[in-house]
Amino acid sequence: MININSLSNTSLTEIYKTFVEAFSDYQVKFNPSYDDFLFMMNRRGMNRDLSFGAFENQRLLGFTLNGIGLWNGLPTAYDTGTGTIPDYRKRGLAKRIFQESLPVLRQNNIKQYLLEVLKQNKVAYELYKKQGFEVIREFDYYVFSKSDINNSAFAKCPDNIRIEEIDEFDWDKAISFYDFEPSWQNNQEAVERSYDSYFKVAAYKDEKLVGFGFLQKSNGDIPQIAVNNNFRRKGIGSQIFKKLIAANQSDNFQIINIENKDAGMKQFLENFSIFPNGGQFEMILKL
Protein backbone atom coordinates (compact mmCIF):
# COMPACT_ATOMS: atom_id res chain seq x y z
CA MET A 1 0.00 0.00 0.00
CA ILE A 2 1.29 3.45 -0.96
CA ASN A 3 0.71 6.31 1.49
CA ILE A 4 1.22 10.05 1.13
CA ASN A 5 3.00 11.66 4.09
CA SER A 6 4.90 14.78 5.04
CA LEU A 7 8.68 14.54 4.67
CA SER A 8 9.23 16.02 8.13
CA ASN A 9 10.65 12.72 9.41
CA THR A 10 12.53 11.78 6.23
CA SER A 11 16.27 12.42 6.18
CA LEU A 12 17.81 14.68 3.59
CA THR A 13 20.08 11.83 2.50
CA GLU A 14 17.06 9.64 1.73
CA ILE A 15 15.33 12.47 -0.11
CA TYR A 16 18.51 13.06 -2.12
CA LYS A 17 18.82 9.38 -3.04
CA THR A 18 15.25 9.31 -4.39
CA PHE A 19 15.74 12.70 -6.06
CA VAL A 20 18.76 11.45 -8.04
CA GLU A 21 16.90 8.30 -9.09
CA ALA A 22 13.81 10.25 -10.11
CA PHE A 23 15.81 12.67 -12.27
CA SER A 24 18.21 10.08 -13.72
CA ASP A 25 16.47 10.25 -17.12
CA TYR A 26 15.31 13.88 -16.99
CA GLN A 27 14.98 15.75 -20.29
CA VAL A 28 17.67 18.19 -19.18
CA LYS A 29 20.82 16.56 -17.75
CA PHE A 30 20.55 17.00 -14.01
CA ASN A 31 22.70 15.08 -11.56
CA PRO A 32 23.65 17.30 -8.60
CA SER A 33 26.10 16.23 -5.95
CA TYR A 34 24.75 15.93 -2.41
CA ASP A 35 26.28 19.31 -1.49
CA ASP A 36 24.75 20.94 -4.59
CA PHE A 37 21.40 19.37 -3.71
CA LEU A 38 21.55 20.84 -0.20
CA PHE A 39 22.53 24.22 -1.62
CA MET A 40 19.67 24.12 -4.11
CA MET A 41 17.10 23.17 -1.47
CA ASN A 42 18.30 25.91 0.86
CA ARG A 43 18.34 28.48 -1.93
CA ARG A 44 14.77 27.59 -2.89
CA GLY A 45 13.56 27.62 0.73
CA MET A 46 12.56 23.94 0.92
CA ASN A 47 10.51 23.15 4.02
CA ARG A 48 10.35 19.43 4.87
CA ASP A 49 7.31 19.87 7.11
CA LEU A 50 5.32 21.14 4.12
CA SER A 51 6.89 18.84 1.54
CA PHE A 52 5.32 15.47 0.77
CA GLY A 53 6.18 12.03 -0.51
CA ALA A 54 4.69 8.72 -1.59
CA PHE A 55 5.87 5.81 0.61
CA GLU A 56 5.64 2.05 0.28
CA ASN A 57 6.99 0.09 3.25
CA GLN A 58 8.85 3.22 4.36
CA ARG A 59 10.57 3.53 0.98
CA LEU A 60 10.27 6.97 -0.65
CA LEU A 61 9.01 6.50 -4.22
CA GLY A 62 8.14 10.04 -5.24
CA PHE A 63 8.01 13.53 -3.81
CA THR A 64 7.06 17.16 -4.11
CA LEU A 65 9.59 19.36 -2.33
CA ASN A 66 8.02 22.70 -1.44
CA GLY A 67 9.78 25.97 -0.80
CA ILE A 68 7.82 28.29 1.48
CA GLY A 69 8.01 32.08 1.43
CA LEU A 70 6.39 35.26 0.19
CA TRP A 71 5.64 35.90 -3.49
CA ASN A 72 4.13 39.23 -4.45
CA GLY A 73 3.39 39.72 -0.76
CA LEU A 74 1.42 36.46 -0.30
CA PRO A 75 2.44 33.27 1.58
CA THR A 76 3.40 30.91 -1.22
CA ALA A 77 4.48 27.32 -1.78
CA TYR A 78 6.98 26.82 -4.60
CA ASP A 79 7.70 23.49 -6.25
CA THR A 80 11.45 23.07 -5.75
CA GLY A 81 11.29 19.60 -7.29
CA THR A 82 8.68 16.97 -8.14
CA GLY A 83 9.70 13.49 -9.20
CA THR A 84 8.88 9.79 -9.15
CA ILE A 85 11.36 6.95 -9.51
CA PRO A 86 11.04 5.25 -12.94
CA ASP A 87 9.46 1.95 -11.79
CA TYR A 88 6.53 3.75 -10.16
CA ARG A 89 5.60 6.22 -12.87
CA LYS A 90 2.23 6.31 -14.65
CA ARG A 91 0.44 5.39 -11.42
CA GLY A 92 -0.77 8.89 -10.67
CA LEU A 93 1.54 9.34 -7.68
CA ALA A 94 2.57 12.93 -8.51
CA LYS A 95 -1.08 13.91 -8.81
CA ARG A 96 -1.94 12.16 -5.54
CA ILE A 97 0.92 13.82 -3.68
CA PHE A 98 -0.13 17.24 -4.92
CA GLN A 99 -3.85 16.84 -4.25
CA GLU A 100 -3.35 15.38 -0.78
CA SER A 101 -0.91 18.15 0.12
CA LEU A 102 -3.28 21.01 -0.75
CA PRO A 103 -5.44 20.80 2.43
CA VAL A 104 -2.28 20.86 4.57
CA LEU A 105 -0.92 23.87 2.70
CA ARG A 106 -4.22 25.72 3.12
CA GLN A 107 -4.27 24.89 6.84
CA ASN A 108 -0.85 26.55 7.05
CA ASN A 109 -2.17 29.74 5.45
CA ILE A 110 -0.51 29.20 2.06
CA LYS A 111 -2.41 31.33 -0.45
CA GLN A 112 -0.90 30.26 -3.77
CA TYR A 113 1.26 27.62 -5.40
CA LEU A 114 4.03 28.56 -7.84
CA LEU A 115 6.05 26.34 -10.16
CA GLU A 116 7.98 26.15 -13.43
CA VAL A 117 7.60 23.43 -16.03
CA LEU A 118 9.70 22.72 -19.10
CA LYS A 119 7.89 23.67 -22.28
CA GLN A 120 8.77 20.32 -23.84
CA ASN A 121 7.26 18.44 -20.86
CA LYS A 122 3.79 18.53 -22.38
CA VAL A 123 2.42 15.81 -20.08
CA ALA A 124 3.26 17.76 -16.94
CA TYR A 125 2.10 21.04 -18.49
CA GLU A 126 -1.31 19.61 -19.36
CA LEU A 127 -1.60 18.04 -15.89
CA TYR A 128 -0.96 21.40 -14.22
CA LYS A 129 -3.48 23.12 -16.50
CA LYS A 130 -6.15 20.57 -15.57
CA GLN A 131 -5.43 21.25 -11.90
CA GLY A 132 -6.15 24.94 -12.44
CA PHE A 133 -2.66 26.40 -12.92
CA GLU A 134 -2.30 29.43 -15.19
CA VAL A 135 0.79 30.53 -17.13
CA ILE A 136 2.04 33.90 -15.92
CA ARG A 137 5.43 34.12 -17.69
CA GLU A 138 7.67 32.33 -20.17
CA PHE A 139 11.37 31.82 -19.50
CA ASP A 140 14.41 30.84 -21.55
CA TYR A 141 17.28 28.88 -20.05
CA TYR A 142 20.92 28.73 -21.11
CA VAL A 143 23.33 25.89 -20.43
CA PHE A 144 26.81 26.25 -21.89
CA SER A 145 30.51 25.56 -21.32
CA LYS A 146 33.59 27.78 -21.35
CA SER A 147 34.49 26.52 -24.81
CA ASP A 148 31.14 27.78 -26.16
CA ILE A 149 31.88 31.39 -25.21
CA ASN A 150 33.04 33.77 -27.92
CA ASN A 151 35.91 35.39 -26.06
CA SER A 152 36.41 38.04 -28.74
CA ALA A 153 33.12 39.60 -27.63
CA PHE A 154 34.46 40.80 -24.29
CA ALA A 155 34.53 44.58 -24.37
CA LYS A 156 36.73 46.90 -22.36
CA CYS A 157 34.87 49.14 -19.95
CA PRO A 158 35.74 52.78 -19.16
CA ASP A 159 38.76 53.46 -16.96
CA ASN A 160 36.59 55.25 -14.39
CA ILE A 161 34.63 52.04 -13.68
CA ARG A 162 35.91 49.87 -10.82
CA ILE A 163 34.90 46.18 -10.82
CA GLU A 164 35.72 44.11 -7.78
CA GLU A 165 34.70 41.14 -5.66
CA ILE A 166 32.44 42.24 -2.80
CA ASP A 167 30.89 41.00 0.43
CA GLU A 168 27.92 43.33 0.80
CA PHE A 169 26.22 45.85 -1.44
CA ASP A 170 23.08 47.97 -1.80
CA TRP A 171 20.17 45.67 -2.65
CA ASP A 172 17.71 48.56 -2.92
CA LYS A 173 19.87 50.08 -5.63
CA ALA A 174 20.58 46.72 -7.28
CA ILE A 175 16.95 45.72 -7.81
CA SER A 176 16.32 49.01 -9.62
CA PHE A 177 18.52 47.60 -12.43
CA TYR A 178 16.10 44.71 -13.16
CA ASP A 179 14.31 44.54 -16.50
CA PHE A 180 12.06 41.81 -15.07
CA GLU A 181 11.34 40.36 -11.64
CA PRO A 182 13.64 37.35 -11.07
CA SER A 183 12.01 33.95 -10.61
CA TRP A 184 11.61 32.38 -7.17
CA GLN A 185 14.94 30.53 -7.27
CA ASN A 186 16.86 33.58 -8.52
CA ASN A 187 15.33 36.44 -6.55
CA GLN A 188 16.83 38.42 -3.69
CA GLU A 189 15.42 36.12 -1.00
CA ALA A 190 16.85 33.04 -2.74
CA VAL A 191 20.31 34.61 -3.07
CA GLU A 192 20.28 35.79 0.54
CA ARG A 193 19.48 32.30 1.88
CA SER A 194 22.96 31.21 0.76
CA TYR A 195 24.58 34.61 0.32
CA ASP A 196 28.00 33.68 1.69
CA SER A 197 28.29 30.79 -0.76
CA TYR A 198 28.27 33.01 -3.84
CA PHE A 199 31.10 34.70 -5.65
CA LYS A 200 29.89 38.29 -5.89
CA VAL A 201 31.09 41.05 -8.19
CA ALA A 202 30.04 44.71 -8.36
CA ALA A 203 30.87 47.61 -10.65
CA TYR A 204 31.17 51.15 -9.33
CA LYS A 205 31.57 54.59 -10.85
CA ASP A 206 33.21 56.54 -8.04
CA GLU A 207 31.27 54.96 -5.13
CA LYS A 208 28.00 54.52 -7.03
CA LEU A 209 26.85 50.97 -7.79
CA VAL A 210 26.26 50.55 -11.53
CA GLY A 211 26.30 46.76 -12.00
CA PHE A 212 26.66 43.40 -10.26
CA GLY A 213 26.66 39.64 -10.71
CA PHE A 214 26.50 36.42 -8.65
CA LEU A 215 28.00 33.00 -9.33
CA GLN A 216 27.69 29.63 -7.61
CA LYS A 217 31.27 28.49 -8.17
CA SER A 218 30.68 24.75 -7.75
CA ASN A 219 28.33 24.41 -10.72
CA GLY A 220 28.52 27.67 -12.68
CA ASP A 221 25.01 28.88 -11.96
CA ILE A 222 24.54 32.64 -12.44
CA PRO A 223 21.29 33.65 -10.70
CA GLN A 224 21.62 37.38 -11.32
CA ILE A 225 23.64 39.75 -13.49
CA ALA A 226 22.51 43.31 -14.15
CA VAL A 227 23.71 46.78 -15.07
CA ASN A 228 22.12 50.17 -14.46
CA ASN A 229 20.21 51.07 -17.63
CA ASN A 230 22.16 54.35 -17.93
CA PHE A 231 25.49 52.49 -18.00
CA ARG A 232 24.73 49.74 -20.50
CA ARG A 233 26.57 49.10 -23.77
CA LYS A 234 29.78 50.41 -22.21
CA GLY A 235 31.47 47.03 -21.55
CA ILE A 236 30.52 46.92 -17.85
CA GLY A 237 28.28 43.85 -18.11
CA SER A 238 30.92 42.21 -20.29
CA GLN A 239 33.62 42.66 -17.65
CA ILE A 240 31.34 41.50 -14.83
CA PHE A 241 30.56 38.40 -16.89
CA LYS A 242 34.28 37.85 -17.52
CA LYS A 243 35.05 37.89 -13.80
CA LEU A 244 32.25 35.41 -13.09
CA ILE A 245 33.57 33.06 -15.77
CA ALA A 246 37.12 33.27 -14.41
CA ALA A 247 35.95 32.43 -10.87
CA ASN A 248 33.98 29.33 -11.86
CA GLN A 249 35.36 26.02 -10.58
CA SER A 250 33.47 24.11 -13.27
CA ASP A 251 33.72 24.24 -17.06
CA ASN A 252 29.94 24.47 -17.25
CA PHE A 253 27.50 27.33 -16.71
CA GLN A 254 23.78 27.83 -16.48
CA ILE A 255 21.64 30.94 -16.61
CA ILE A 256 18.04 29.92 -16.13
CA ASN A 257 14.65 31.64 -16.03
CA ILE A 258 15.43 34.64 -18.20
CA GLU A 259 12.09 36.17 -19.17
CA ASN A 260 11.85 35.55 -22.90
CA LYS A 261 10.62 39.11 -23.51
CA ASP A 262 13.94 40.47 -22.20
CA ALA A 263 15.57 41.36 -25.53
CA GLY A 264 18.53 43.02 -23.80
CA MET A 265 19.74 39.93 -21.96
CA LYS A 266 19.10 37.76 -25.02
CA GLN A 267 21.24 40.06 -27.17
CA PHE A 268 23.95 40.28 -24.49
CA LEU A 269 24.31 36.50 -24.40
CA GLU A 270 24.07 36.13 -28.17
CA ASN A 271 27.07 38.46 -28.46
CA PHE A 272 29.05 35.68 -26.74
CA SER A 273 27.52 32.99 -29.01
CA ILE A 274 25.32 31.77 -26.15
CA PHE A 275 21.81 30.80 -27.21
CA PRO A 276 18.75 29.38 -25.39
CA ASN A 277 18.64 25.62 -24.90
CA GLY A 278 14.93 25.62 -24.18
CA GLY A 279 12.23 27.26 -22.15
CA GLN A 280 9.90 26.99 -19.18
CA PHE A 281 6.45 28.20 -18.23
CA GLU A 282 6.03 29.88 -14.86
CA MET A 283 2.60 28.84 -13.55
CA ILE A 284 0.52 29.71 -10.51
CA LEU A 285 -2.53 28.30 -8.73
CA LYS A 286 -4.52 30.34 -6.23
CA LEU A 287 -5.34 28.29 -3.11
Tens digit of pLDDT for each residue in 223-243?
A: 999 999 999 999 999 999 999
What is the distance between the alpha carbons of residues 86 and 227, in angstroms, rounded to a whole number? 43
Examine the domain organization and report whether 153 and 267 are in the same domain: yes
Structural domain span for residue 211:
142-279
Residues 6+ apart with CB under 8 A from 246: none
- CATH of residue 232's domain is 3.40.630.30
What is the distance between the alpha carbons of residues 171 and 128, in angstroms, rounded to a whole number? 34
- Note the pLDDT of residue 118: 92
- Mean pLDDT, the chain, integer: 94
Number of domains in the chain: 2
Residues 6+ apart with CB under 8 A from 117: 124, 125, 128, 280, 281, 283
Are 214 and 225 contacting, i.e. CB atoms less than 8 angstroms apart? yes
Examine the domain organization and report whether 90 and 199 are in the same domain: no
Q: Is the pLDDT of residue 28 over 60?
A: no
The torsion angle over the Cα atoms of residues 218, 221, 224 and 229, rounded to 10 degrees, is 110
Note the pTM of the prediction, 2 decimals.
Answer: 0.91
Examine the domain organization and report whether 102 and 171 are in the same domain: no
User: What would the mean pLDDT of 252-260 be, rounded to a whole number?
Assistant: 95
Q: Is the pLDDT of residue 88 over 60?
A: yes
17 domain residue, yes or no: yes
Examine the domain organization and report whether 92 and 178 are in the same domain: no
158 domain residue, yes or no: yes
31 domain residue, yes or no: yes
Three-class DSSP category at 171 = helix
**What is the tens place of the pLDDT at every residue in 258-281?**
999 999 999 999 999 999 999 999
Examine the domain organization and report whether 168 and 268 are in the same domain: yes
Examine the domain organization and report whether 77 and 195 are in the same domain: no
Examine the domain organization and report whether 10 and 106 are in the same domain: yes
Examine the domain organization and report whether 103 and 165 are in the same domain: no
Examine the domain organization and report whether 75 and 158 are in the same domain: no
What is the distance between the alpha carbons of residues 143 and 278, in angstroms, rounded to a whole number? 9
Examine the domain organization and report whether 56 and 169 are in the same domain: no
Q: Is the pLDDT of residue 33 over 60?
A: yes
Examine the domain organization and report whether 30 and 101 are in the same domain: yes
- Within 10 angstroms of residue 130's Cβ, the number of other Cβ atoms is 9
- For the chain, give the percent of residues with pLDDT over 90: 91
Examine the domain organization and report whether 260 and 147 are in the same domain: yes
